[in-house]
Amino acid sequence: MRHIVLVGNMKVGKKGDIIVTYALGTSLGLTAYDPVAKVGGLLHAMLPLSRSDPQKAETNPCIFVDTGIPKLFQEITEMGGQRARLILRAAGCFRPAGENEMFKIGERNYSVLKKILWKNSMILESEDVGGVANRTVNFDISTGQVTVSS
């Protein structure tokens, strides 16, 4: 089954599912995959830190990197995955061309991701971040294959 993840959302699935997200700009796209349990998920987080809007974070933690990542890991674990086996891949976090972009949302999203992974002794298997191009992520949970296109 094919699932589409919108901005500020996530989807977890099992073998046979394909999860896609479009138009990753400054947002973070993070896939997490357990190759033994054949479960995984895709997060499309828009902003780095939930403290900017705690109420919004409570109703939808996936909007923020710092609350979306733990929710992604929790839901994969509830489906039988194990955090120690997760293969993580990141995309997005671009820097808009021709703009001063004083808030540096893409860079901050990436920094928060790296801090969370470091605190949990986890590393990225691969990444396609930065630059100035929007990205689309296709994640086939049957194989664990992640394809990023711009």
Identify which of 108, 97, 105 has the alpha carbon closest to the alpha carbon of residue 132.
Answer: 97
Say what the pLDDT of residue 69 is.
98
* Whole-number CA gyration radius for the chain: 14
pLDDT greater than 90 at residue 102:
no
- Bridge partners, residue 64, by sequence: 47
Q: Confidence band (pLDDT; 50, 70, 90) for 95?
A: confident
pLDDT greater than 90 at residue 99:
no
pLDDT, tens digit (0-9, with 9 covering 90-100), for 34-53: 999 999 999 999 999 999 99
Say what the pLDDT of residue 96 is.
78
Say what the pLDDT of residue 66 is.
98
Mean pLDDT for 16-35 is 97
Q: How far apart are CA 12 and CA 18, in angstroms?
A: 10
Domains of the chain: 2-149 (3.30.1330.200)
Say what the pLDDT of residue 6 is.
97
Q: How far apart are CA 115 and CA 122, in angstroms?
A: 10
User: How is residue 9 written in tokens?
Assistant: 């959302």
Contacts of 86 (CB under 8 A, 6+ apart): 32, 33, 34, 73, 76, 122
Say what the pLDDT of residue 100 is.
59
Contacts of 88 (CB under 8 A, 6+ apart): 30, 31, 32, 33, 117, 122, 123, 124, 125
Mean pLDDT for 116-137 is 96
Mean pLDDT for 86-110 is 86
